[in-house]
Amino acid sequence: MSAVVARIAQAAAGETPQYSVTYDPQSAHADVRLCLSGAHPQMVFAADSPGAMRFLGGLQRSSARRIEPLRAGWRARGWQAGECLAYSADIGAIAMLHSDAGSRYGEVLVTDPQYWLLRADTQTQLGANLRIELPEGWAIAAPWHELGRAGRSIQFQIPDTPPDWSARVALGQFEEQRIELPQGSSVRVAILFDADAKQRAKLMTWIQGAASAVFKTYGRMPIDDVSVSIVSIGSTSYAGRFFALLHPTAVFGGDSARGQGNSIQLLVDPRRPLAEFVSDWTAIHELSHLMHPYLGDRGSWLAEGLATYYQNVLRARTGIFTPAQAWQHLGDGFADAAATKSDDTLEQAANSMEQTHAFQRVYWSGAAYWLSVDSDLRRSSGGDLNLETALSRFHDCCLPAYHEWKPENFVAKLDELMGVRTFSTHYREFAQATRFPDWQKIFADLGVVRSGGDKTTFDENVPGVAIRNAITAAR
């Protein structure tokens, strides 16, 4: 068969799998039915991993034909048009793993749906559709796109993302609220614990503020429909609760997942005052990650740098910080990170960050990259262009991105969209550098003066004053 014919045959074989799910809270099991319209000589249904197979049972084809286990999934020969595969998934047991695969917060179960939705090998980049039937009073928070609701049945479209990207779906008796933003953007917020009305209002105010800050970057949300889940430290392990007692704070952490769509999870102590939530960096940091595609380990310095840069300048733009406070935070971060020692290039450090914990160097070198690129764009265009222009154009061409981008392709795309070489030129310099970037030079050019290391003042007599002001000016 010629390559062209083979491609056509493959495209014809591709289709959109239809999942129907019914969840039973008593047994914490889901009954899943996976149907395909086409006939296939053989079908492979991939499990997340060999270990994930034990959570699925009672597999049965609607044709009553045989299905055989493989190392990480099942094979069905002689698949008929319109045939379905039915099985039962032990969601409760997955949630008890307390890992990326699943967690339990009180009565709410958070699991990676890739553990319980077998992946048909005929699925294409069009993804899959799923209809779930929930018990009375139950809710689901998922990264999927909601297509419609009828009674207790919800219809979703599931984006096709690489199977090794982790995803999160919460099932429980909670309420998902929607924050509507202009231009059709929205953020769905699920508070996954028993918050009282006051706490609920406080958390919504916090997320609304963080979403508006990110929205203002270029007048749209980077992703139209993102799912944010808020977990209370009080509903985690004893160790978590004990830690919270020793280190009282509003926000303990956050992370973003990109599997099957975009989702963000935030870990909080809901009893802390609103002011502490508002001034915290975590929510703006995680929402800023939506502005870039997944860049892999090697590109993590670009990703974390962008979120670290914006967590500071956006807090100034929305008035949470004064400009002096924002530059103070940036300077403190640069100074601390510059004091860390390593012989690795920044790219090597980023690649091995999870093992070496070189987080400071990676995050703050990246922040210095975006600050220097932003400054250069503004300088060379007389203030007409900036980083927001570039990211806004990237949004229009390339988001949401359901596949990994190589970091050099991402910066090359930004250059192409702007008709410049700034992004790639700085990228090569930064990625190969074994020393922390010369942030003091960047600060000097912008007239940011750190006297005695802990006090930030401004020099109004350098050409970069207008650029500095524009970066932190209120929006």
**Sequence-ordered strand ranges (E) for 51-118:** 56-61, 68-70, 73-79, 84-90, 102-105, 108-111
Closest distance between Zn ion and the C-beta of residue 252, in Å? 15
Question: In this complex, which beta carbon is closest to Zn ion, that of residue 227 or of residue 422?
Answer: 227
Closest distance between Zn ion and the C-beta of residue 355, in Å? 17
Closest distance between Zn ion and the C-beta of residue 255, in Å? 7
Starting from the edge strand earliest in sequence, which strands make up the sheet with 176-180, in order?
Answer: 176-180, 186-191, 225-232, 263-268, 251-257
Site for Zn ion in 266-305 (CB under 5 A): 304
Closest distance between Zn ion and the C-beta of residue 307, in Å? 4
Q: Which residues contact 170 (CB under 8 A, 6 or more apart)?
A: 108, 109, 110, 140, 141, 142, 190, 192, 229
Distance CA 459, CA 152 (A): 61
Closest distance between Zn ion and the C-beta of residue 283, in Å? 12
Site for Zn ion in 306-365 (CB under 5 A): 307
Rounded to 5°, angle at Cα 266 from 263 and 270: 140
Question: In this complex, which beta carbon is closest to Zn ion, that of residue 304 or of residue 374?
Answer: 304
Site map (CB under 5 A) of Zn ion, residues 24-63, x = contact: ----------------------------------------
Site map (CB under 5 A) of Zn ion, residues 122-161, x = contact: ----------------------------------------
Question: In this complex, which beta carbon is closest to Zn ion, that of residue 34 or of residue 302?
Answer: 302
Question: Beta strand pairing status for 263-268 and 102-105?
Answer: unpaired
Closest distance between Zn ion and the C-beta of residue 253, in Å? 10
Closest distance between Zn ion and the C-beta of residue 7, in Å? 38
Question: In this complex, which beta carbon is closest to Zn ion, that of residue 21 or of residue 307?
Answer: 307
Question: In this complex, which beta carbon is closest to Zn ion, that of residue 94 or of residue 307?
Answer: 307
Question: In this complex, which beta carbon is closest to Zn ion, that of residue 118 or of residue 307?
Answer: 307
Question: In this complex, which beta carbon is closest to Zn ion, that of residue 354 or of residue 396?
Answer: 354
Rounded to 5°, angle at Cα 416 from 412 and 422: 65
402 contacts 161 by C-beta, under 8 angstroms: yes
305 contacts 369 by C-beta, under 8 angstroms: yes
Of 430, 415, 427, nearest to 385 by C-alpha is 415
Distance CA 287, CA 315 (A): 13
Question: In this complex, which beta carbon is closest to Zn ion, that of residue 89 or of residue 291?
Answer: 291
Site for Zn ion in 414-443 (CB under 5 A): none
Closest distance between Zn ion and the C-beta of residue 308, in Å? 7
> Which residue sits closest to Zn ion, CB atoms considered?
307
DSSP string, 216-241: HHHTS-SSSEEEEEEEEGGGS-HHHH
221 contacts 290 by C-beta, under 8 angstroms: yes
Distance CA 366, CA 142 (A): 30
Instruction: Report helix, strand or coil for 68.
Output: strand
Question: In this complex, which beta carbon is closest to Zn ion, that of residue 138 or of residue 359?
Answer: 359
Task: Work out whether 213 is an interface residue with Zn ion (CB under 5 A).
Answer: no
Question: In this complex, which beta carbon is closest to Zn ion, that of residue 175 or of residue 336?
Answer: 336
Closest distance between Zn ion and the C-beta of residue 89, in Å? 31
For the purposes of burial, counting CB atoms within 10 Å of the CB of 392, is it exposed (0-12), middle (13-18) or buried (19 or more)?
Answer: middle
Distance CA 145, CA 289 (A): 19
Question: In this complex, which beta carbon is closest to Zn ion, that of residue 30 or of residue 307?
Answer: 307
Closest distance between Zn ion and the C-beta of residue 303, in Å? 7
Of 269, 231, 229, 274, nearest to 251 by C-alpha is 269
Number of residues in contact with Zn ion, rule: CB under 5 A? Answer: 2
Closest distance between Zn ion and the C-beta of residue 304, in Å? 5
Distance CA 197, CA 257 (A): 28
Closest distance between Zn ion and the C-beta of residue 272, in Å? 22
Of 150, 247, 240, 228, nearest to 189 by C-alpha is 228
CA dist 131 → 6, 47, 136, 156 (Å): 33, 20, 16, 6
Question: In this complex, which beta carbon is closest to Zn ion, that of residue 311 or of residue 472?
Answer: 311
Binding site for Zn ion (CB under 5 A): 304, 307
